[in-house]
Structure 1
Amino acid sequence: MKNLWLEFKGFALGGNMFDLALGFIIGTAFAALVESLAGNVLMQLVAAIFGQPDFGGFVFTVNNAEIRYGSFLTELLNFLLLGLVLFGLVKLMKMAKLGNFRAQGSRECPHCKEFIAVDADKCKWCTADVHPAVVDDEEGASPAR
């Protein structure tokens, strides 16, 4: 029983599980922040422009069935504003050099058939020049070919 407890403790407090838990907690807090910015700031700007914070009152009736297209428009606008906020935050973080925004994944070298990073411009195995599949736009490189 003691060995099982020690094994569980090593698993639960090990690097991967602890990193995952911290990432989940920070991700939840970040999602609340972004949602608050989109809902409490940007949607209020929409309310200032259109006179109301949502379009839930926009409906039309077909054969005694209410079609609430205003609610759909509100959710669509929320989605677009949330995406805009996320895009802006990621761009700001990239400009401030915060976080790891390197391309993830691997691909096959066309020469030696070994796996290399998707943003590699030289194969680490055969040292052949390869075109990166993903190019970081901040390096001023031309788009991927």
Structure 2
Amino acid sequence: MWQEFKKFAVKGNVIDLAVAVIIGAAFGKIVKSLVDDIVMPFLGILLGGISLTNLKLKVGEAAITYGVFLQNVVDFFLIAFVIFFIVRLYKRMERKEEVKAEVKVDQKEELLREIRDLLKTFNQTTK
């Protein structure tokens, strides 16, 4: 059983997943800070200084803090939007690099293509 576990734990996918989770946690902190420290204060200014976390409903001695829930919902959508935007930028840069890689054609390769095309046309005209 120990050998089986070692084979499973040392597989590339498990290690890749562990690295992804660690990097994802660090990236999550960056995005959360961006939302909490930059976006939300700016949004608060635009909304006239309203803080959702202060909203609550008192029922007797109990307080239902629905504002905290609303704040978490807004945070979720903002974080999801920021991650979407970052991934979109990354994909665009990735595509630009692919296009650049495709554009670079070796001169010898281009010359061989021209010779091939000339031979095709020559063979078609001689038939």
TM-score by length of 1: 0.51
Residue 42 of structure 2: aligned partner = 45
Number of residue-to-residue matches in the alignment: 94
Residue 119 of structure 1: aligned partner = none
Distance 1:72 1:16 in 2: 36
| 1:14 positional shift | 3.0
Q: CA RMSD for the aligned pairs?
A: 2.8
Unaligned runs of 5+ in 1: 99-145
Q: If each structure's helix is expressed as a fraction of its own residues, which one has the higher value? A: 2
Q: Percent identity?
A: 37
Q: 2:63 aligns with which of 55, 62, 66?
A: 66
Distance 1:8 1:44, change over 3 A: same
Q: 1:26 aligns with which of 12, 23, 28?
A: 23
Residue 87 of structure 2: aligned partner = 90
Determine helix, strand or coil for the equivalent of 2:76: helix
| 1:27 positional shift | 1.6
Unaligned runs of 5+ in 2: 96-127
Distance 1:85 1:13 in 2: 34
Determine helix, strand or coil for the equivalent of 1:61: strand
Residue 112 of structure 1: aligned partner = none
Q: Which runs of 4+ in 1 moved over 6 A?
A: none
**Bigger Rg, which one:** 2
